[in-house]
Amino acid sequence: MTSLIFSINLIGLVSLIIVNKIKVLEINKPLLLKQIALLTSILIIFVTTYYVLMFDCSEIGYQFIDNFFNITWGIDGISLVLIILTSLLIPLALLSNYKNIQRNEGFIIVLLGALLTLNFLCLDLLSFYLLF
């Protein structure tokens, strides 16, 4: 279930790369890149809201445990708060610099948000070290 966050981030990053490589869209490319980055971060907010609503505070330990790419992902109470803060901070960073984002800045902000979120989701020490 936590692989949904990874999948949305991966689809957003791949679509940003594909749109950046297309030469037909040269006129509206910066606007399209900003819109894709903002849409990806807003979708992450919706998924995070779902996790908040489905999280059982009376249960001790990790919840939503998933094994994706041979890495164990899960959410506990502390990581849920950090994921909420990350998912709220990334769209704010995009919106506050919306006029100044040219081409690759939106990609870097979405990549940073993806890596931070995955860092808070991972339960393995090795994957935590690699994502950090």
pLDDT of residue 88: 93
pLDDT of residue 28: 77
* HEC assignment per residue over 67-113: EECCEEEEECHHHHHHHHHHHHHHHHHHHHCCCCCCCCHHHHHHHHH
The answer, yes or no, to whether residue 12 has pLDDT greater than 80, is: yes
How many domains does the chain divide into? 1
Rounded Cα distance, 39 and 45, in Å: 10
| Model pTM score | 0.84
Q: Name the band, by pLDDT with cuts 50, 70 and 90, for residue 131.
A: low
Q: What residue numbers bound the domain in which 23 lies?
A: 3-131
Q: What is the mean pLDDT of residues 73-98?
A: 90
Tens digits of per-residue pLDDT, 105-116? 778 888 888 888
